[in-house]
Structure 1
Protein backbone atom coordinates (compact mmCIF):
# COMPACT_ATOMS: atom_id res chain seq x y z
CA UNK A 1 0.00 0.00 0.00
CA UNK A 2 1.27 3.46 -0.63
CA UNK A 3 0.98 6.05 2.12
CA UNK A 4 1.98 9.55 3.14
CA UNK A 5 3.77 10.48 6.36
CA UNK A 6 2.61 13.84 7.67
CA UNK A 7 4.76 15.25 10.45
CA UNK A 8 6.07 18.27 12.26
CA UNK A 9 8.90 16.18 13.76
CA UNK A 10 12.35 16.95 12.31
CA UNK A 11 13.63 13.53 13.46
CA UNK A 12 10.99 11.78 11.35
CA UNK A 13 11.91 13.95 8.39
CA UNK A 14 15.61 13.12 8.73
CA UNK A 15 14.95 9.37 9.03
CA UNK A 16 12.38 9.01 6.24
CA UNK A 17 12.82 11.83 3.76
CA UNK A 18 14.95 9.80 1.34
CA UNK A 19 12.78 6.67 1.42
CA UNK A 20 9.18 7.76 2.02
CA UNK A 21 6.63 10.32 0.89
CA UNK A 22 6.98 12.79 3.79
CA UNK A 23 5.08 16.03 4.17
CA UNK A 24 6.90 18.06 6.80
CA UNK A 25 5.63 21.36 8.16
CA UNK A 26 6.89 23.41 11.08
CA UNK A 27 3.51 23.64 12.77
CA UNK A 28 2.06 23.17 16.23
CA UNK A 29 0.55 19.82 17.16
CA UNK A 30 -2.92 21.23 16.52
CA UNK A 31 -1.76 22.83 13.29
CA UNK A 32 -0.53 19.48 12.04
CA UNK A 33 -3.86 17.85 12.94
CA UNK A 34 -5.67 20.53 10.94
CA UNK A 35 -3.40 19.90 7.96
CA UNK A 36 -4.18 16.17 8.26
CA UNK A 37 -7.90 17.04 8.44
CA UNK A 38 -7.63 18.98 5.18
CA UNK A 39 -6.08 15.92 3.50
CA UNK A 40 -8.84 13.69 4.87
CA UNK A 41 -11.50 15.99 3.44
CA UNK A 42 -9.57 15.75 0.19
CA UNK A 43 -10.08 11.97 0.12
CA UNK A 44 -7.15 10.53 2.06
CA UNK A 45 -7.81 8.02 4.86
CA UNK A 46 -6.17 7.84 8.29
CA UNK A 47 -3.89 4.83 8.71
CA UNK A 48 -2.71 5.70 12.24
CA UNK A 49 -4.68 7.24 15.07
CA UNK A 50 -4.10 10.99 15.43
CA UNK A 51 -3.87 10.69 19.24
CA UNK A 52 -1.67 7.60 19.52
CA UNK A 53 0.57 7.34 22.55
CA UNK A 54 0.10 8.30 26.16
CA UNK A 55 1.30 11.91 25.90
CA UNK A 56 -1.56 14.39 26.00
CA UNK A 57 -2.08 16.70 23.02
CA UNK A 58 -0.26 20.00 23.45
CA UNK A 59 2.13 18.51 26.02
CA UNK A 60 4.29 17.35 23.15
CA UNK A 61 5.02 19.58 20.20
CA UNK A 62 5.45 16.66 17.77
CA UNK A 63 3.04 14.45 15.89
CA UNK A 64 3.36 12.15 12.91
CA UNK A 65 0.41 10.55 11.14
CA UNK A 66 0.13 8.07 8.28
CA UNK A 67 -2.45 8.72 5.58
CA UNK A 68 -3.38 6.69 2.54
CA UNK A 69 -1.51 7.80 -0.54
CA UNK A 70 -4.50 7.39 -2.81
CA UNK A 71 -7.51 9.67 -2.72
CA UNK A 72 -10.84 7.93 -2.40
CA UNK A 73 -14.28 9.01 -1.31
CA UNK A 74 -14.25 10.76 2.06
CA UNK A 75 -13.86 8.20 4.84
CA UNK A 76 -16.36 9.06 7.59
CA UNK A 77 -14.40 7.22 10.29
CA UNK A 78 -11.26 9.22 9.44
CA UNK A 79 -13.31 12.44 9.59
CA UNK A 80 -14.72 11.49 12.98
CA UNK A 81 -11.30 10.59 14.38
CA UNK A 82 -9.49 13.73 13.19
CA UNK A 83 -12.28 16.09 14.26
CA UNK A 84 -12.33 14.45 17.72
CA UNK A 85 -8.55 14.71 17.93
CA UNK A 86 -8.64 18.43 17.12
CA UNK A 87 -11.31 19.02 19.76
CA UNK A 88 -9.27 17.05 22.32
CA UNK A 89 -6.21 19.10 21.45
CA UNK A 90 -8.10 22.33 22.07
CA UNK A 91 -9.01 21.19 25.60
CA UNK A 92 -5.39 21.19 26.75
CA UNK A 93 -3.20 24.22 27.34
CA UNK A 94 -0.23 24.32 24.99
CA UNK A 95 2.79 23.50 27.16
CA UNK A 96 5.03 22.57 24.27
CA UNK A 97 6.99 25.83 24.19
CA UNK A 98 8.18 25.72 27.80
CA UNK A 99 10.61 22.78 27.80
CA UNK A 100 14.40 22.58 27.85
CA UNK A 101 16.08 21.59 24.58
CA UNK A 102 16.79 17.98 25.62
CA UNK A 103 13.10 17.42 26.36
CA UNK A 104 12.26 18.28 22.74
CA UNK A 105 14.67 15.55 21.61
CA UNK A 106 12.88 13.09 23.91
CA UNK A 107 9.49 14.06 22.48
CA UNK A 108 10.85 13.64 18.94
CA UNK A 109 12.03 10.14 19.85
CA UNK A 110 8.68 9.20 21.41
CA UNK A 111 6.84 10.33 18.27
CA UNK A 112 9.33 8.48 16.04
CA UNK A 113 8.91 5.26 18.05
CA UNK A 114 5.12 5.44 17.76
CA UNK A 115 5.38 6.08 14.03
CA UNK A 116 7.80 3.18 13.56
CA UNK A 117 5.18 0.68 14.71
CA UNK A 118 2.66 2.23 12.32
CA UNK A 119 5.18 2.03 9.47
CA UNK A 120 5.79 -1.66 10.17
CA UNK A 121 2.06 -2.34 9.88
CA UNK A 122 1.65 -0.17 6.77
CA UNK A 123 4.60 -1.85 5.04
CA UNK A 124 3.04 -5.28 5.74
CA UNK A 125 -0.24 -4.36 3.96
Structure 2
Protein backbone atom coordinates (compact mmCIF):
# COMPACT_ATOMS: atom_id res chain seq x y z
CA UNK A 1 0.00 0.00 0.00
CA UNK A 2 1.48 3.31 -1.07
CA UNK A 3 -1.19 5.63 0.36
CA UNK A 4 -1.14 7.10 3.82
CA UNK A 5 -3.61 9.26 5.70
CA UNK A 6 -1.89 11.92 7.76
CA UNK A 7 -4.25 13.17 10.46
CA UNK A 8 -4.68 14.63 13.91
CA UNK A 9 -8.35 13.58 13.93
CA UNK A 10 -9.14 10.65 16.22
CA UNK A 11 -12.35 9.89 14.29
CA UNK A 12 -10.42 9.45 11.04
CA UNK A 13 -7.81 7.35 12.82
CA UNK A 14 -10.41 5.11 14.49
CA UNK A 15 -12.45 4.59 11.33
CA UNK A 16 -9.65 3.97 8.83
CA UNK A 17 -6.72 2.50 10.79
CA UNK A 18 -7.67 -1.04 9.79
CA UNK A 19 -8.08 -0.12 6.10
CA UNK A 20 -5.25 2.32 5.42
CA UNK A 21 -1.86 3.23 6.73
CA UNK A 22 -2.40 6.10 9.14
CA UNK A 23 0.07 8.61 10.49
CA UNK A 24 -1.88 9.78 13.54
CA UNK A 25 -0.34 12.76 15.27
CA UNK A 26 -2.53 13.21 18.31
CA UNK A 27 -2.65 16.62 19.98
CA UNK A 28 -1.11 18.24 16.94
CA UNK A 29 -2.51 21.40 15.44
CA UNK A 30 -3.59 22.21 11.90
CA UNK A 31 -0.29 23.86 11.03
CA UNK A 32 1.74 20.95 12.43
CA UNK A 33 -0.10 18.57 10.10
CA UNK A 34 0.87 20.79 7.16
CA UNK A 35 4.50 20.79 8.32
CA UNK A 36 4.47 16.99 8.61
CA UNK A 37 2.93 16.70 5.14
CA UNK A 38 5.73 18.90 3.81
CA UNK A 39 8.31 16.64 5.48
CA UNK A 40 6.70 13.60 3.89
CA UNK A 41 6.67 15.25 0.46
CA UNK A 42 10.41 15.90 0.76
CA UNK A 43 10.78 12.20 1.66
CA UNK A 44 9.14 11.18 -1.62
CA UNK A 45 5.39 11.40 -1.09
CA UNK A 46 2.93 13.37 -3.20
CA UNK A 47 -0.37 14.92 -2.23
CA UNK A 48 -3.55 13.12 -3.23
CA UNK A 49 -5.75 15.65 -1.45
CA UNK A 50 -5.40 19.38 -1.23
CA UNK A 51 -3.91 20.34 2.14
CA UNK A 52 -6.56 23.02 2.70
CA UNK A 53 -9.65 21.36 1.29
CA UNK A 54 -12.96 22.61 2.70
CA UNK A 55 -14.23 26.03 3.56
CA UNK A 56 -12.96 25.74 7.16
CA UNK A 57 -10.08 28.07 7.82
CA UNK A 58 -6.96 27.14 9.81
CA UNK A 59 -8.05 29.53 12.56
CA UNK A 60 -11.48 27.88 12.83
CA UNK A 61 -10.59 24.21 13.22
CA UNK A 62 -7.71 22.29 14.71
CA UNK A 63 -8.28 19.17 12.62
CA UNK A 64 -6.79 18.30 9.27
CA UNK A 65 -6.48 15.04 7.39
CA UNK A 66 -4.43 14.73 4.22
CA UNK A 67 -3.97 11.74 1.93
CA UNK A 68 -0.54 11.24 0.44
CA UNK A 69 0.95 8.62 -1.84
CA UNK A 70 4.50 7.31 -2.01
CA UNK A 71 5.93 8.70 -5.23
CA UNK A 72 8.36 6.37 -6.98
CA UNK A 73 9.83 9.22 -8.99
CA UNK A 74 11.75 12.27 -7.83
CA UNK A 75 10.28 14.99 -5.66
CA UNK A 76 6.82 16.04 -6.77
CA UNK A 77 7.21 19.76 -7.45
CA UNK A 78 3.46 20.31 -7.70
CA UNK A 79 2.99 18.89 -4.19
CA UNK A 80 5.87 21.01 -2.88
CA UNK A 81 4.35 24.18 -4.29
CA UNK A 82 0.89 23.29 -3.00
CA UNK A 83 2.02 22.52 0.55
CA UNK A 84 4.23 25.60 0.74
CA UNK A 85 1.31 27.80 -0.33
CA UNK A 86 -0.95 26.07 2.19
CA UNK A 87 1.54 26.65 5.01
CA UNK A 88 1.92 30.29 4.03
CA UNK A 89 -1.85 30.76 3.93
CA UNK A 90 -2.40 28.97 7.25
CA UNK A 91 0.26 31.08 8.93
CA UNK A 92 -1.46 34.25 7.68
CA UNK A 93 -4.84 33.12 9.02
CA UNK A 94 -3.37 32.13 12.38
CA UNK A 95 -1.42 35.36 12.67
CA UNK A 96 -4.62 37.33 12.08
CA UNK A 97 -6.69 35.31 14.56
CA UNK A 98 -5.81 32.30 16.70
CA UNK A 99 -8.02 29.22 16.79
CA UNK A 100 -10.49 29.56 19.68
CA UNK A 101 -10.45 27.14 22.58
CA UNK A 102 -13.62 25.38 21.50
CA UNK A 103 -15.59 23.19 23.88
CA UNK A 104 -15.63 19.44 23.26
CA UNK A 105 -19.00 19.47 21.44
CA UNK A 106 -17.72 21.93 18.84
CA UNK A 107 -14.40 20.08 18.54
CA UNK A 108 -16.34 16.90 17.87
CA UNK A 109 -18.30 18.71 15.14
CA UNK A 110 -15.01 19.77 13.52
CA UNK A 111 -13.74 16.17 13.72
CA UNK A 112 -16.92 15.03 11.97
CA UNK A 113 -16.55 17.63 9.20
CA UNK A 114 -12.92 16.64 8.59
CA UNK A 115 -13.86 12.95 8.50
CA UNK A 116 -16.69 13.56 6.03
CA UNK A 117 -14.26 15.36 3.69
CA UNK A 118 -11.87 12.40 3.78
CA UNK A 119 -14.74 9.93 3.33
CA UNK A 120 -15.88 11.81 0.24
CA UNK A 121 -12.39 11.72 -1.23
CA UNK A 122 -11.89 8.05 -0.42
CA UNK A 123 -15.21 7.18 -2.04
CA UNK A 124 -14.18 9.01 -5.23
CA UNK A 125 -10.62 7.75 -5.49
CA UNK A 126 -10.97 4.24 -4.06
CA UNK A 127 -10.94 2.62 -7.50
CA UNK A 128 -7.59 4.31 -8.21
CA UNK A 129 -5.86 3.11 -5.05
CA UNK A 130 -7.15 -0.45 -4.74
* TM-score, normalised relative to structure 2: 0.90
Please identify runs of 4+ aligned residues in structure 1 that moved more than 6 A.
Answer: none
Alignment correspondent of 2:19? 19
- Gapped runs of 5+ residues in structure 2? none
SS at match of 1:61: coil
Identify the residue that residue 109 of structure 2 maps to in structure 1. Answer: 106
Quote how far apart the aligned CAs of 1:124 are: 1.5
Q: Name stretches of at least 5 consecutive residues in structure 1 with no aligned partner.
A: none
Q: Deviations 1:7-65 (Å, cap 9, x if unpaired)? A: 00000001011111000002110001000000001110000000000001131000000
Which deviates the most, 61-70 or 48-57?
Answer: 61-70
- Structure-2 separation of matches of 1:89 and 1:109: 21
Q: For residue 91 of structure 1, give the secondary structure of its aligned residue in structure 2.
A: helix
> Offset of 1:94 from its aligned partner?
2.5
* TM-score normalized by the length of structure 1: 0.93
Between Structure 1 and Structure 2, how many residues are aligned? Answer: 124
Aligned counterpart, 1:120: 123
Please give the alpha-carbon distance, in whole angstroms, between the structure 1 residues aligned to 2:72 and 2:62.
28
Deviation per CA, 1:50-104, whole angstroms, max 9, x where unpaired? 00000011310000000003443111110011000001110123214x1111000
Q: For 1:12-91, what aligned pairs fall within 5 Å after superposition?
A: 12-26=12-26, 27-91=28-92
